[in-house]
Amino acid sequence: MHKFENCLVVGISSRALFDLEEENQIFNEEGVEAYTNYQIEHENDLLKPGTGFALIKALLKLNEIGSEERKTEIIVMSRNNADSSLRIFNSIKHYNLDITRAALVSGALLSPYLEAFNTDLFLSANEEDVQEAINAGVAAGIIYTQHLAYDEVNEIDQIRIAFDGDAVLFSDESEQIYKSQGIEAFQANETKNARKPLPEGPFAKFLKTLSAIQKEFDKNRAPIRTALVTARNAPAHERVIRTLRAWDVRIDEAFFLGGMSKQEVLKAFGAHIYFDDQAIHTDATAEFVPSARVPYKNNENQSDLE
């Protein structure tokens, strides 16, 4: 019996993996029957790579490094039914992606199956599915499907994953102080609690899993590189650094921007995916790097801190 306890499990929707924008428009305008018929009629037509394709392909390559034990498992998780999915699997085979598992739920919610697959990360363009995943305690992001062109020649040799801080890696507890009381109260709270680790946010477990994989390699040769890109600045930076130290996780690069725009930093870092809780940031960064917005648990209101 195959178990996923010791590897990184990523669930990804077919629309996040492949370019299905035309097909999604058919679904929205004409309904599920028209969509299914279209997919069956075109099931021998290969799909183009989508926003998450390069990241997934690079994650799968981790299984070729080092020990025989698999480091990553990718699960296609889709609201498609089995009858309309052959085109997706034909495309997976064409691109030689080592993906053999899928959850095809015919329009039902995917969230109940995330735990069944021990999912560490879920990527989808469907906001409802991502919201339900976050509510269930799974790291998840609404991926932008205005994907950048896939470079088949220059493949990823080091995966670069970037995170926002509050409400992503950390809880939104401090951010709520900013929202309700302002920047001075926020800075005072972070200074006062500098040695008290921040509570975990939705992506804390995912970061810890990445860090565990990194520790299997020499620091200068690790196939994954991470970055924290946050609007925090001094003196609020200290609590973040001490929190990561308390978690015993490795962040390779950290940027405390104090309100500066994030897109140029992310472009320079070369992020293959960036997670942020605010659309004002992901709307901008998606033009430069693949980006995903992390919704608040239970649809809580977002603040303007980051």
- What would the two tokens of residue 126 be? 């469907």
Which residue is catalytic, options 19, 129, 164, 276?
Answer: 164
284, with CB counted inside 10 A (0-12, 13-18, 19+), is middle
What CA–CA distance (Å, rounded) separates 133 from 8? 17
User: Is residue 164 flagged as an active site residue?
Assistant: yes
**Residue (of 224, 177, 215, 179) closest to 198 by Cα position:** 177
Q: Which residue has the tokens 């058919």?
A: 26
184, with CB counted inside 10 A (0-12, 13-18, 19+), is exposed
Cβ(73)–Cβ(10) under 8 Å? yes
What CA–CA distance (Å, rounded) separates 218 from 215? 7
Cβ(117)–Cβ(102) under 8 Å? no
Please report, for residues 70, 109, 141, 268, 273, the alpha-carbon distance to residue 106 in angstroms, rounded to integers and kept in the order given.
29, 9, 21, 41, 28
Cβ(74)–Cβ(61) under 8 Å? no
What CA–CA distance (Å, rounded) separates 51 from 129? 17
Q: Annotated catalytic sites, by residue?
A: 164
